[in-house]
Amino acid sequence: MLGIIIIDDEVLVRVGLKSLIDWEKYDCHIIGEAGNGEASIKLIKETKPAIVITDLKMPIKDGLELIEEAQQEDFDTKFIVLSSFDEFHLVKKAMKLGAVDYLIKLELDDELLIDTLSTVKKMISKEKERMKNENIIKHNINKKGNLRKEFLKKLIGGLISNKNEIEIISQKLDINLHLENLFCMVIQLNNIDSLNKFNFEFSIINIVEEIVNDYFTAYAFLNNLGEIVVIFLFDNQNPVCNYYIRINEMTITLKKMLKQYFSVKISIAISKAHNGFDKISTAYFECCEAAKYSFQAKTGEPIYYKDIKKYQSGQRNEIDVVSFVNRLSEALDIMEPAAIEDLFKEMIETISVENLSKNKAYDLCFQIAYLIKSKLDESLAVKILEQKESFYKYIEGLNNLAEVVDWLVNIEERLLLVSNENIENEKNFIITQAQKYIKGHFIEELSLSSLAEELNISAGYLSALFREVTDIGFSEYITGLRINKAKDLLSNTNIKIYEISKMVGYHNPYYFSRVFKKTTGKTPSEYRLKKY
């Protein structure tokens, strides 16, 4: 029987409805009643009725609010609304919110109520039948999907090899793959730690199968944690030359979508099953072999079994990691930009030529990162490595040589930036010290050589550095200090000019006057007269 709740703020309406028909005769029974929408929500939650007959105008919470809240709570309940003649605008709102029928109170009789209940009961019956059918279909799909997965896993493992048996089973499981132009693809997920098992098995597999089926007839399944196998067929109607163009388009889309939605980086290996469906296990093992060299493939490109010889022959691993690291250590000692730049250029060129293995590449990156972390100040190391997480974990996330090279290029750029800043800071420090010394000794017989000796650098380097940092020469700087001091004394004291000359470092008053006029355009006497 279907449970019914009656909601109306008028007791007589509720009593009238309950007594209008023999409810059980029509496979219904009243399981509750309420006088307002607020109380009815709790009642609906507790009794879970099939049908609610409710008035639209009620205190505290009206019928419209009740229906809206019930829809938000996702109650599996059908609403029949009661209204007056002048409330049709409310009925329209109720129908929009999900009510299935309405009754006009003044027209309500047993026949109209029975007809309305019959209509709603048929609606409920159809929905139940539909849900039952959907559940059966889902069950069958899941069952067939599981059988298909187990069949394909046995197939790639070589556990089924009889051609006739394979064809019979594939027909029963609706696996529509022909014996020609058949490919196997192995997708390795390189950072599955961030994924939970549910997402991995359901979301990612579905996305992979959907994308590949946009290009080919395909079946995807999880073979091992972190490994998805896809068996796909290239349509015979398309020319063979389109094989690899379409496959490359498909793999680019795969990598883009999985990275965008799941933050997953993948590598892809592909092999063609040359002898048909019964030889797909060979193609699978060829994919596994090709996957060993995916580290050498370019970013975004799959690696084909047919191409692995070029990676095998190129992988000589002759790079001397120890030598590179020792030379980098020396370059970091002096933070010389040119030495750093030359070394990184050589490293990157060598990596490209030698087709470095994953272990060798990681070893090089680990040692470079460790060297930077151990030799430089912590703040500089953080600035250069620029990783919030462990740099070991970050390096292990580099999926191929192209990403290793990108990492090295970024490290080089940040090292050069820091080393150039360091050089600039050192230059500024030297000149600051020089200026400080000059200001304290400019009235003495001060020469470039004596100052350079004081700072423990060469006179030539000091001369060049002084002009580079201050934009003026050593002599000009001292002259400027002396003349400015002289101008101050001439303006604010009555000290004689020849005495001022000695006070600012000129023992010859005639030479002082000549320098003063050349600098200011006036003699010391003219300058003093103008000021007074």
pLDDT in tens, 282-297: 888 889 888 888 787 7
Residues 101, 52: Cα–Cα separation, whole Å: 11
Place of tokens 């070029």: 310
Report whether pLDDT(417) > 80. yes
Residues 267, 260: Cα–Cα separation, whole Å: 15
Average pLDDT over residues 180-207: 70
Report whether pLDDT(198) > 50. no
Return all residues near 483 (Cβ < 8 A) that are at least 6 apart. Answer: 504, 515, 516, 519, 520
Give the C-alpha distances (Å, rounded to integers) separating 457 from 86, 453, 463.
102, 6, 10
Q: How far apart are the first and last CA of the chain?
A: 117
**Cα-atom radius of gyration of the chain, to the nearest Å?**
43
Q: 42-56, 68-82, 176-190, 191-205: which range is least confident on average?
A: 191-205
Q: How confident is the model over 123-170, as pLDDT tens digits?
A: 888 888 877 766 655 545 455 667 888 888 888 887 777 777 777 877
Of residues 135 and 435, the one with the higher pLDDT is 435
Q: How confident is the model at residue 79 (pLDDT cuts 50, 70, 90)?
A: very high
Please report the pLDDT score of residue 134 as a whole number: 63
Q: How confident is the model at residue 78 (pLDDT cuts 50, 70, 90)?
A: very high
Return all residues near 140 (Cβ < 8 A) that are at least 6 apart. Answer: none
Please report the pLDDT score of residue 50 as a whole number: 92
Nearest-5° Cα angle at 248, 243 to 253: 130
Please report the pLDDT score of residue 144 as a whole number: 63
Average pLDDT over residues 381-396: 73
Residue type, 473: G
Of residues 428 and 338, the one with the higher pLDDT is 338
Structure tokens at 26: 């029509």
Give the torsion sign (CA, 268, 273, 277, 279). negative
Please report the pLDDT score of residue 424 as a whole number: 67
Please report the pLDDT score of residue 141 as a whole number: 45
Residue type, 388: K
Report whether pLDDT(179) > 90. no
Q: How confident is the model at residue 5 (pLDDT cuts 50, 70, 90)?
A: very high
Q: How confident is the model over 463-500, as pLDDT tens digits?
A: 888 888 788 888 888 888 889 999 989 888 889 988 99
Q: 19-23, 187-191, 460-464: which range is least confident on average?
A: 187-191
Average pLDDT over residues 357-373: 85
CA-based nearest residue to 337, from 405, 415, 411: 415
Residues 270/247, Cβ–Cβ less than 8 Å = yes
Tally: H helices and E strands in the chain: 23, 10
**Distance, CA of 67 to chain centre:** 42
Q: 114-118, 250-254, 290-294, 318-322: which range is least confident on average?
A: 318-322
Report whether pLDDT(264) > 80. no
Residues 154, 158: Cα–Cα separation, whole Å: 6
**Would the pTM count as exceeding 0.75?**
no
Per the document, the length of the chain is 532
Mean pLDDT of the chain: 81
**Distance, CA of 289 to chain centre:** 30
Please report the pLDDT score of residue 277 as a whole number: 60
